[in-house]
A = this chain, B = another copy of it.
């Protein structure tokens, strides 16, 4: 196999090879691993300094349009941020707050005057801000935030207030210490001439919270969330507003504005759609967390796989008398099963992440409003991949920690820090359980649109069991994937599990079936009302989450198949095909009961799934070192005690 390493790297880096290489160089030259012995204050100071240093690298600027003082390379910016995880997850998160969330809100929700006034200083790191959305009482349900921004036409000011204890802004990165300006999400209340004041829903207002000496401004009370389970380089805090006045111009008014006389106007009439449009522009945060999750999982795998290739324990049964050779951990089946399917997922997820970032860059980087349908699909996919990747990272890092035993528990070996720092990824930027339901609901909406669009005659001839297919087919799929899937789909009775078409068909059929049955269930539920309606919805919740997960796994497999299909070297491709097999079949194995219950797998084939996963682990064992080396994590960031 000619240059296996670089061929693998090409698959993993996808369209962002040069941006990744540039970040690798930076990290190799300057980055150091988080020091677990630092105090809270020292960690925060170090992370703040690293954020300021990062401002000078050009990575943050890449995330902003050229017209706004950036360099307009969203993809490069996102992969650059993602890779910071290899050194310090706090740095990645604090940078994400400053440039992704806070800067992103100003760029995407604001208009020219906000861009001109703030963006150059935000990009340069001269103005540090925070993203004050979550409140003590409301996190997942952003539409019910309680903070108010009431327009006072007499002074032309917006009055920001926390009317209840639960309206307090909470867990806000930067609010404890560093941020001087906050992008505050609040219920906008205003009255046009002759109107009663009314709430217009959640909007975003820029509110200064600290003076240059770090003192709270009048009416603002900040406090500190203190020590967290991880990410202690980020100064999370709380903010309470007591009738704080800011000029009307501080409303970020791309999607809604308040005239001097208090009249409210918006280019988007439907308040619900307006709200989701505003939120949708902030998609980059979720994409970032998905990427960061992938990076953390890869680093943990690199450490655990390398350890398993050095560490020996117990002599082999049947070894010749006096043979002192002990067995390498990675030669044990249990150890292979712990690490290699997770490694296959890491590969699959990185190809899906590359596709996600590329789509985001295409839609947001064009300077025009993206197609609403494409934007919505992208949002659902970002939500799903964020949830899937962060749960996967949590499970993978945990497994890697345990696979390194006591050595894995020493902070010097990075695994516990990685676990602690990324643990909150499963619940921030959208709680995973809520996000997976969002994915399911979005598919359901697409389904309904499709069916609703048919005339009565069409409806009659439209087999309900095929409706889901229509929805899925709309998802753009690489021609290779479509060909493979369609070739095998529903053909024979017992097609080969190692056949790519079979794998694609298994995951596609599962998603279709889940969508079809959920749609019927929901149709029935729609007839209920009151407590019955809640009960019907509630009973379908697991179904919804399952659908979300099935959808993500199907899409990830398709990305992976397409990426591997593009590999030219046949030997490399053959090896990578085994990695795809391992991903696909370990996904099927995890949900095997479903496939059996729904007669997608016979008992015999179901057993073969497990046999095949085992065989694939053995087949890939010799390539384990190459597979993790290809991640291209700078070696200085893998210099942990356990590998010394």
Could you tell me which A residues sit within 8 Å of B by CB distance?
Answer: 36-37, 39-40, 134, 138-141, 144, 170-171, 225-230, 313-320, 326-327, 331-334, 337-338, 394, 398, 401-402, 405-406, 408-412, 415-417, 419-420, 423-424, 426-428, 431-433, 437, 528-534, 537-539, 541-542, 545, 592-593, 596-597, 599, 603, 606-607, 614
Contacts and interface: CB of A to CB of B under 8 A. Distances in A.
A93 to B, nearest CB: 12
A230 B427 contact: no
Question: How many copies of this chain are found per oligomer?
Answer: 2
Nearest to A418: B229
Given A333-B542, A408-B427, A409-B229, A140 B419 contact: no
- The DSSP consensus for interface residues of chain A is helix
A329 B622 CA distance: 47
Contact of A424 (B170, B406, B431): B406
Contacts of A334: 433, 437, 541-542, 545
A539 B333 contact: yes
Contacts of A542: 333-334, 337, 614
A405 B427 contact: yes
A410 B224 CA distance: 11
Given A228-B410, A409-B428, 16 more contacts: A138-B313, A141-B313, A141-B326, A229-B415, A316-B531, A316-B534, A319-B534, A327-B534, A334-B437, A334-B542, A408-B427, A409-B427, A416-B423, A542-B614, A593-B596, A597-B607
A337 B433 CA distance: 12
A318 to B, nearest CB: 3
Contacts of A529: 318
A394 B402 CA distance: 11
A406 B332 contact: no
B537 A317 contact: yes
Contacts of A317: 533-534, 537
A238 to B, nearest CB: 11
14 contacts: A37-B226, A140-B405, A141-B314, A229-B409, A229-B417, A317-B533, A318-B534, A333-B541, A334-B545, A398-B398, A409-B424, A409-B428, A592-B593, A593-B593
Contact of A420 (B416, B433, B614): B416
Contacts of A226: 36-37, 410-412
B420 A229 contact: yes
A331 B36 CA distance: 40
A539 B292 CA distance: 35
Nearest to A530: B318
A416 B229 contact: yes
A413 to B, nearest CB: 9
B36 A39 contact: no
Contacts of A228: 409-411, 416
Closest 5 CB pairs of A and B: A318-B533, A229-B416, A592-B593, A227-B411, A316-B534
A599 B603 CA distance: 8
Contact of A597 (B409, B412, B606): B606
B331 A140 contact: no
Contacts of A319: 530, 534
A344 to B, nearest CB: 17
A416 B529 CA distance: 40
Given A318-B532, A420-B416, A401 B229 contact: yes
A148 to B, nearest CB: 16
Given A331-B538, A433-B334, A606-B596, A227 B409 contact: no
Please indicate which of the listed interface residues A431, A533, A541, A597 has the most CB atoms of chain B within 10 Å of its own CB: A597
A497 to B, nearest CB: 15
A149 to B, nearest CB: 21
Nearest to A311: B137
A634 to B, nearest CB: 23
Contacts of A227: 36-37, 410-412
Contacts of A141: 313-314, 326
Contact of A406 (B337, B428, B541): B428
Q: Which of A170, A314, A538 has the most CB of B within 10 A?
A: A538
A432 B318 contact: no
A534 B532 CA distance: 59
Contacts of A537: 317-318
